[in-house]
């Protein structure tokens, strides 16, 4: 079965690897002219680390990523509010990983080219539209180099083209623009020593627009040296009649210093962190309303195209990886591909839609929001209940991740799809 994947990001490449492992013939079409190691940090929670490990990428991932050991919530003055262990330390059978998004992207790209061949991904193709019939899908792309139209014929089409998905727009033409909560994220990466004992993800502050986040994504190359620290400052802008700037503008160092001037966290030197940052960029915090439907005939959505969410619980990328695995599993188990797409949606859409709405309600970061309102840490059982509820919502508790049956397609099922 031939499957066209629109979008060569993390979700699209994970889909290609999953579908190939299940015996299908995926082909990825990406709008960018080249895939490069760009971006900042990303976290892969244990439910995603399990799926990548079962795809045979555990060693490669461990070589480029760092395993954080604890999540530490702090107040505006840097004092502890609540902490919990992460990954293996929390009892998961798989780690949690913090990694540079660009390095993860290139890892997946190398695996796609090695396993599927050099022609499995084509760059510089901007999706325009699709048509489908009872027998297949024809996708139309603009070749950005030549300006000509390119068509791809396949049995299925998977829209994995991000929050502004053109595939989603064709499936839901009246949806409108994405939802902004008034917050921008200033994001940077800088050489900086480990903080709070090392291997910690630190979230300080309270409500969205008044938070600072820092976590390492690479250990020091030499003992006593600097780690590579990913950091985020959330800033809230007043309402404006002008259109939202989504250019990911570069923040001058002076502006970043001014934005952080009101923060005094005793365990990190913020001026040095800003000074060490090679570049600082601004990203609006965006999501979209949950959809009532992803799949239409032979076309479906996956990853941020299906469920873009606020980054409250480090779940966006992780849920996309799980999407990819479940899609391949469903296609391998059903003889009718359209039935398989409906089954994939039945399994994934309720969970991811719940996470989207949960993140709008602050997800696990409700812990520090309540602490800020109350003027001090919450009782431990109250904080634990908030954290556990969110994990259960995302189907990511220790018991859920460790005990659910594998999404790996058996060799017999893969042979039936060939």
Q: Residue 411: is its pLDDT beyond 90? A: no
| Residue 139 phi, psi (nearest 5) | -105, 135
Query: What's the burial of 278, exposed, middle or buried (CB within 10 Å: 0-12/13-18/19+)?
Result: exposed
Strands 70-74 vs 200-205: parallel, antiparallel or unpaired? parallel
Contact of 96 with 49, CB cutoff 8 Å: yes
116-136 mean pLDDT: 96
Which are the contacts of 337, defined by CB distance < 8 A and separation ≥ 6? Answer: 1, 155, 156, 298, 331
pLDDT averaged over every residue in the chain: 95
Q: Residue 417: is its pLDDT beyond 90? A: no
Model pLDDT, residue 401: 98
234-256 mean pLDDT: 88
Q: Residue 412: is its pLDDT beyond 70? A: no
Which are the contacts of 181, defined by CB distance < 8 A and separation ≥ 6? Answer: 208, 285, 286, 287, 310, 360
Which residue bears the tokens 């634990």? 384
pLDDT tier for residue 311 given thresholds of 50, 70 and 90: very high
Residue among 47, 3, 53, 50 at smallest CA distance from 29: 3
Token duo for residue 374: 């109350």
Express each pLDDT in 71-95 by its tens digit: 999 999 999 999 999 999 999 999 9
Model pLDDT, residue 415: 59
Model pLDDT, residue 223: 80
Of 294 and 34, the one with more pLDDT: 294
Model pLDDT, residue 239: 72
pLDDT tier for residue 34 given thresholds of 50, 70 and 90: confident
Give CA–CA dist 229/236, Å, rounded.
23
Model pLDDT, residue 414: 56
Q: Which percentage of the chain shows pLDDT scores above 70?
A: 98
Q: Residue 45: is its pLDDT beyond 90? A: yes
Token duo for residue 413: 């099922």
Q: Residue 265: is its pLDDT beyond 90? A: yes
24-29 mean pLDDT: 98
Give CA–CA dist 244/94, Å, rounded.
39
Q: Residue 257: is its pLDDT beyond 90? A: yes
Contact of 87 with 48, CB cutoff 8 Å: no
Task: Report residue 311 CA to chain centroid gap.
Answer: 8
350-359 mean pLDDT: 98
**What's the 3-state SS for the chain?**
CEEEEECCCHHHHHHHHHHHHCCCEEEEECCCCCCCCCCCEEEECHHHHHHHHHCCCHHHHHHHCECCCEEEEECCCCCEEEEEECHHHHCCCCCCEEEEHHHHHHHHHHHHHHHHCCCCEECCEEEEEEEECCCCEEEEEEECCCCCEEEEEECEEEECCCCCCHHHHHHCCCCCCCEEEEEEEEEEEEEECCCCCCCEEEEEECCCCCEEEEEEEECCCCCCCCEEEEEEEEEECCCCCCCCCCCCCECCHHHHHHHHCCCCCCCCCHHHHHHHCCCEEEEEEEECCCCCCCCECCEEECHHHCCCCCCCCCCHHHHHHHHHHHHHHHHHHCCCHHHHHHHHHHHHHHHHHHHHHHHHCCHHHHHHHHHHHHCCCCCHHHHHHHHHHHHHHCCCCHHHHHHCCCCCCCHHHHHHHC
Model pLDDT, residue 143: 97
229-246 mean pLDDT: 87
Express each pLDDT in 372-400 by its tens digit: 998 889 999 999 999 999 999 999 999 99
What domains lie within the chain, and their CATH numbers? Answer: 2-57+99-177+288-364+388-417 (3.50.50.60)
């Amino acid at each position: 079965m031939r499957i066209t994947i629109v979008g060569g990001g993390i979700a699209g490449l994970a889909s290609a690897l999953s579908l190939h492992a299940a015996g299908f013939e995926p082909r990825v079409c990406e709008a960018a002219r080249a895939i490069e190691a760009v971006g900042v940090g990303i976290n892969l929670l244990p439910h995603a680390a399990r799926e990548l490990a079962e795809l045979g990428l555990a060693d490669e991932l461990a070589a480029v990523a760092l395993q954080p050991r604890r999540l530490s919530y702090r107040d505006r003055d840097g004092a502890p509010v609540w902490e919990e262990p992460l990954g293996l330390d929390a009892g998961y059978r798989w780690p949690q990983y913090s990694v540079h998004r660009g390095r993860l992207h290139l890892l997946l790209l190398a695996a796609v080219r090695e396993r599927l061949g050099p022609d499995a991904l084509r760059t510089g193709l901007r999706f325009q539209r699709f048509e489908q019939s009872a027998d297949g899908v024809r996708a139309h792309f603009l070749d950005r180099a030549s300006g000509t139209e390119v068509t791809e014929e396949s049995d299925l089409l998977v829209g994995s083209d991000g929050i502004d998905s053109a595939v989603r727009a064709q499936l839901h033409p009246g949806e409108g623009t994405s939802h902004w909560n008034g917050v921008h994220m200033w994001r940077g990466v800088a050489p900086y020593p480990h903080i709070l004992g090392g291997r910690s993800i630190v979230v300080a502050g309270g409500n969205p627009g008044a938070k600072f986040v820092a976590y390492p994504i690479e250990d020091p190359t030499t003992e006593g040296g600097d780690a590579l620290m990913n950091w985020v400052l959330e800033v809230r802008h007043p309402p404006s009649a002008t259109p939202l700037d989504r250019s990911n503008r570069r923040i001058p160092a002076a502006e970043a210093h001014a934005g952080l001037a009101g923060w005094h966290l005793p365990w990190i030197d913020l001026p040095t962190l800003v000074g060490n940052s090679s570049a600082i960029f601004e990203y609006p915090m965006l999501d979209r309303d949950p959809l009532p439907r992803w799949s239409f005939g032979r076309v479906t959505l996956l990853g941020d195209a299906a469920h873009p969410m606020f980054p409250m619980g480090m779940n966006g990328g992780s849920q996309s990886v799980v999407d990819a695995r479940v899609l391949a599993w469903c296609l391998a188990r059903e003889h009718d591909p359209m039935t398989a797409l409906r089954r994939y949606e039945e399994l994934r859409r309720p969970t991811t839609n719940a996470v989207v709405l949960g993140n709008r309600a602050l997800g696990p970061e409700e812990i520090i929001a309540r602490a800020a309102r109350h003027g001090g840490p919450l009782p431990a059982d109250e904080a634990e209940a908030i954290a556990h509820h969110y994990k259960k919502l995302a189907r990511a508790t220790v018991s859920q991740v460790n005990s659910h049956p594998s999404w790996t397609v058996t060799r017999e099922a893969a042979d039936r799809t060939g």
